[in-house]
Amino acid sequence: MEQEQIEKYLAQAPDLLIAYGTKILLALVIFVIGRWVAKILANVVRTLLTKRGLDITVVGFMGNIVSAVVTVMTLIAVLGQLGVQTASLVAVLGAAGLAVGLALQGSLSNFASGVLLVAFRPCKAGDYIEAAGVAGTVEEISIFSTTLVTPDNKRITCPNSSIMDGVIVNYSAKDTRRVDMTVGVAYDADLQQVKQVLNKVVAANELVLAEPGVTIEVAELADSSVNFVVRPWVRTADYWTVYFGLQAAMKLELDKAGIGIPFPQMDLHVQQLPTQ
């Protein structure tokens, strides 16, 4: 009996070998082609993102994601070719992906925001920005967070989602900026003379740009002073140099011209009430 079964199996062996051998060979071919396609697509994505000037960290991560997705699809196709029921496997993978997504929704939000930051470039490394309630120079934009360095050399790490969910003020985006200053003079000052002095001070500063010109006008009749606005244009890199330099120079020149810069004051009138 055993001899007959052995002979039966030996007789079926060629057919089984051809059937299963073909499936295994096709599965291997699918796997090799899938891995090749995954590698090609990942390189294409990396090349395209690099040409767009995206951050190298995001470029590599996106390439890895594409490679992983294609590889998973390839493995599912291989298992299907071998006769494995893939419907339940896909359902399990979907449920696992949903659970992981819910558990890591904060991290995924930061990742998505990081991709948007480097894709739309509202700021880049080296820019001075104000975002998420803090201000500083962008040191690094990574996948999940952005690092800022404050003027007093403190390092601040902000989640990317906090930056993208709010307003981003980029002070370095343009090559030029307007310096806004207010100068108050006494009410008895000659306004034409004040304007001449302020124009002289601004014109003497070599960092002030000739175009689009400077604005020096009376802006407010305040409680204790007549306030002038002084608004020259400068290169963004020269902003604080011009700001501090002009403040000191205007004070010195106004003093030389005998023009007073008043301080807030209050007149107190005492009224004597008649005694009973």
* Residue 164, pLDDT above cutoff 70: yes
The residues, ordered by sequence, that sit 6+ positions from 120 with a Cβ below 8 Å of its Cβ are none
Whether the model pTM is above 0.75: no
Q: Are 247 and 230 in contact (CB under 8 A)?
A: no
Query: Is 185:257 a contact under the CB 8 Å cutoff?
Result: no
pLDDT of residue 102: 54
* pLDDT reading at 21 higher than 80: no
Reported as a single tens digit per residue, the pLDDT across 106-146 is: 677 888 888 888 778 898 888 999 999 999 999 888 778 89
> What does the pLDDT read at residue 214?
95
pLDDT at 158: 94
b/e burial code for range 64-86 (CB count within 10 A of at least 16 → b): eebbeebbeebbbbbebbeeeeb
Q: What length does the chain have?
A: 276
Most confident residue range from 67-76, 77-86, 88-97: 67-76
Share of the chain above pLDDT 70, in %: 79
Indicate the pLDDT class of residue 14, thresholds 50, 70 and 90.
low
- 170-205 pLDDT tens trace: 999 999 999 999 999 999 999 999 999 999 999 999
Most confident of 10-14, 35-39, 192-196, 222-226: 192-196
Tell me what pLDDT residue 95 has: 66
In this predicted structure, which of 7-16, 29-38, 79-88, 176-185 has the lowest mean pLDDT? 7-16
Let me know: does 114 contact 141? Beta carbons within 8 Å. yes
pLDDT for 245-267, tens place per residue? 999 999 999 999 999 888 776 66
Structural domains of the chain ordered from first start: 2-103 (1.10.287.1260), 122-170 (2.30.30.60), 176-256 (3.30.70.100)
pLDDT of 88 over the 70 cut: no
